[in-house]
Amino acid sequence: MRFRLPLLAALGLSLSLAASAATLVPAKSELLFNFKQMGVAVDGSFKKFEAQLDFDPKKPEAGKIAFTVDLSSVSLGDPMYDAELGNPLWFDTKRNGKASFVSSSIKPTGAGKYDVAGKLSIKGAVRDVVVPITLAGGVAAGAVPIKRLDFKIGDGEWADTSVVANDVIVKFKLSFTGIPGQ
């Protein structure tokens, strides 16, 4: 019986933490990217991704964000190109099916604006990134530049940046329910 109170307290704490977590609304969310191939802008998207958000705008420093992308859901709008992107020189989806971002800190930068620092992992390469995010009406939106070759995306014969630029802009709009004050 004397263990009952700590057990109930721990259960209550875990329930309160779970209650503060927001829920992603996939149908109202998008993950896009843009790069240049031979000087021409190319747009793409990922169709499958998950996000976990535990965030209170009154205590942003205590927040946590985790994001996972199914790399096999990549699309450039043409099935032939989409299949090519799954190959080992690109995303190598058979061995590296997921990309992820996990926050390490959230810093407010203005009204509804935050810098989210964390680790981005793609194809086994991990890099520190800072993602500027705007949060309004339950929607977290932003864009972050990455260097594709830092993650061995388009490796080998595709490493020539005069053909496919090294700079990629990843844009997102993530709709959540359950964010306090939103």
Q: Does 174 have pLDDT greater than 70?
A: yes
Provide the pLDDT for residue 167. 98
Residue 20 pLDDT grade (very low, low, confident, very high; cuts 50, 70, 90):
low
pLDDT digits (tens, 9 = 90+) for 73-110: 999 999 999 999 999 999 999 999 999 999 999 999 99
User: Is the Cβ–Cβ distance between 132 and 142 less than 8 Å?
Assistant: yes
Quick one: 160 exposed, middle or buried, by C-beta within 10 A (0-12, 13-18, 19+)?
exposed
Domains defined along the chain, listed by start: 22-177 (2.40.128.110)
Q: Encode burial over 14-50: b for 16+ CB neighbours within 10 A, e otherwise.
A: eeeeeebebebeeeebbbebebeeeeeebebebeebe
For residue 6, the one-letter residue type is: P
pLDDT digits (tens, 9 = 90+) for 115-161: 999 999 999 999 999 999 999 999 999 999 999 999 999 999 999 99
Q: Measured between alpha carbons, how far is 182 from 56 in angstroms, rounded to an integer? A: 10
What does the DSSP assignment read for 5-46? HHHHHHHHHHHHHHHHEEEE-GGG-EEEEEEEETTEEEEEEE
Give the torsion through C-alpha atoms of 50, 55, 61, 66, to 10 deg. -10
